[in-house]
Structure 1
């Protein structure tokens, strides 16, 4: 059974996605910049209203994934706060200015989050060498990589996703996301062999997941 994670930017979207059959929620703020850290009140609300696992984004701002010391401290504070709320997972990623992985900082955040599982988000698609970064991310202790195959979307990156899945060799979950829709998810799953997929399921340009798209994503990914 292919598992479906839905990126949600408000409680309403999370509730609708769960009701429509999503297996997991990625909770974010800042839809206009592709996701930032949600506030504690919103996170608590979603945790009490949604009966499926909730992974929470830890990203202090939009833009690149190279962070100042102050931003890194803010990320540490967010992880500590979310642990107290007993979130089910955390989503983050830090790079260096040369587009390589910041192993030291990522490792520190994964250790701080323990035993909560951590997803390395689409900062992965900015790295200069994905094969090297993949091994480093595994070594840091992440359990999942969210990626479009380093391309603009999952369709363009389908062959890279296939290669990533093979190289990962069940050591970490490769989760395609970025332009993933019910119209292409079957092709992505069948070609790559992944077991988890990610989509916002937003079809109208707004901020709310479309329940019909969630249902179609789930059906098509397991067809």
Structure 2
């Protein structure tokens, strides 16, 4: 079955994604800046809210590059340990999204090994730092050997469809050893084409739309309130899930 993962930084989106049939969420903070680690309170709340959907937590200590010093790396290890210790009332699958590079643009194998070890038996995704690698095939082999479950990628292109052939090659190289999670420009209107052209079995998207902020709706916006905020759209999640499930049913028919 093809899995749908929704990237979000709004807690209400966890319930929306679950209700509309998504398989996982990637829980982040500050997506407008590319995403960083959400607070432990946010993760705790998401685990209380979820009844079946998997929760992947982004572990990224700061915006910017993916070359971390020792203090930053240890902070991420500590975050993982703290989040794994949180109550998980429904026993949903908790996993982590990580990524660490060297200054020369290759995977920091030692740092990645430490992060994977901190995750224990929780599934690990290597995020789109992968797209910055000069040699994706080498990186894929390294990550598979480190026990990473999947790689989030658009093969270095702005969108997955622009890199459909490269993604298809990564799927072939990965085999059953590591998953390829296609992310970058995935929308309801193109998700079927993405699946057909790449052969991926997992897709990732931010299903956002803008809504008026509460203060703006009340006519009292502040200097810190632009008047709208981005939240998870039930309609977008529903449409992507429906398209993906329809494709799966067609294959099984």
Q: Could you say which TM-score interval applies, normalised by the shorter chain?
A: over 0.9
Give the unaligned 5+ runs of structure 1: none
Superposition TM-score, scaled by structure 1 size: 0.96
**In structure 2, C-alpha distance between the alignment counterparts of 1:196 and 1:58, rounded to whole Å:** 20
Assess if the C-alpha contact under 8 Å between 1:150 and 1:160 holds in 2.
no
Counterpart of 1:29 in structure 2 is: 29
**2:162 match: secondary structure:** coil
After the TM superposition, which segments of 4 or more aligned residues of structure 1 sit over 6 Å from their partners? none
1:23-78 per-position Cα deviation (integer Å, ceiling 9, x unaligned): 11110001112211000111111111122111100001111111111111111111
Per the alignment, in what secondary structure is the counterpart of residue 54 of structure 1? strand
Asked whether 1:210 is paired with 2:224, we answer no
2:10–2:232 contact (8 Å) kept in structure 1: no
3-state SS, counterpart of residue 242 of structure 2: helix
Structure 2 Cα separation of the partners of residues 197 and 216 of structure 1: 13
Name the count of aligned residue pairs: 223
**Deviation for aligned residue 1:204:** 4.0
Tell me, what secondary structure is at the counterpart of 1:91?
Answer: strand
Question: Which of 108, 118, 125 in structure 2 is aligned with 1:112?
Answer: 118
CA RMSD of aligned residues (A): 1.3
Q: How does 1:1-223 map to 2 (within 5 A)?
A: 1-51=1-51, 52-85=53-86, 88-204=94-210, 206-222=229-245, 223=247
Farther-moved stretch of structure 1 (84-93 vs 199-208): 199-208
TM-score (norm 2): 0.85
Structure 2: unaligned runs, 5 residues or longer? 212-228, 248-253
| Pairwise CA distance, 1:143 | 0.3
| Larger CA Rg, structure 1 vs 2 | 2
Asked if the contact 2:186/2:205 (under 8 Å) is kept, the reply is: yes
Higher relative contact order (CA 8 A, sep 6+): 1
